[in-house]
Each structure stands twice: as structure tokens, then as C-alpha cells.
A = this chain, B = another copy of it.
Amino acid sequence: MSHNEQILFANEAFYLAFRARDLAAMDAVWDRQGPVCCVHPGWRPINDRDGVMESWKGIFTSDGEHEVRSAQVRLTQHAEVALVTCYELLATSHLVATNMFVRREGGWRMIHHHASACFAGRPIDDAAGPPMQ
């Protein structure tokens, strides 16, 4: 796979783990070698890895929507770091996400996720992500 394909693969692995409520898969997505940060919609930033995983555990066991999928994925690579922006499409709402990945041995790992509500009209679903599971 090219770097772009690897980065998009990592981004989709994140949404796949989210949809599947798979904590082990989500854990594998996030980097272990440096600082990470996660900003859930409306939340404070979580700046420690344990706290980030704890937050996903809480989200995965909540009644919230999990049928999220990415759309209009945009990727910019800067050497060992990649910036991905996309929409997160839920059943009745949509968010905007900033996702950052760092290149590690074995693939690209998430170091930053910032998702927030988008109040502009629903974007076109360009099916950039895999079909819903």
C-alpha cells in the first residue's frame, strides 16, 4: 500500500472500531509512543492515553449513536505526520472531524481526534468509507 492508502486505512480502522464498539480495535488505532489528545464533541480535551481509552469505553457502553461513517475524507501528509479531515455521518446529524496520525513501524497510529457538531446542511455522502456494518 502507498502511504496515502495506509493513512486512509488507519482512518477507516478508527471508524470501524467506533461502529463495532470494539475497544481492543480502538486501542490498536491509537499511538503508544508519544502524546495523544482526544476531543469528543463538547468535551474537554483528554490528554492522556488511559483517559482517552476510558472515554471510548464509556461511549461504547452508552446508548449513543454508533452508526457513524466517514464522508468527504481529505488527507494531507507531512512526512511522518498526516492530517485527515472528514465528516462523520450519523443517522440524523453530522459532525466534522480532525484526525491526525503519525507513522510508526507497522503502520500509522492516531495521535489526535477532534470531533464537533456541524450545523451546516448535511454533506453529500460520497461513500468514501466502507459500507455500514
Residues of A within 8 A of B (CB): 34-35, 37, 39, 41-45, 47, 74, 76, 78-81, 83, 85, 96, 98, 100, 102, 111-112, 114, 116-120, 123
Contacts and interface: CB of A to CB of B under 8 A. Distances in A.
B42 A118 contact: yes
Contacts of A80: 78-79
Contacts of A74: 37, 45, 47
Given A47-B74, A76-B35, A114-B96, A120 B42 contact: yes
Q: How many copies does the complex hold?
A: 2
Contact of A114 (B47, B78, B79, B98): B98
Nearest to A115: B116
Ranked nearest first, the 5 interchain pairs of A and B with the lowest CB-CB distance are A116-B116, A42-B119, A44-B120, A98-B114, A78-B81
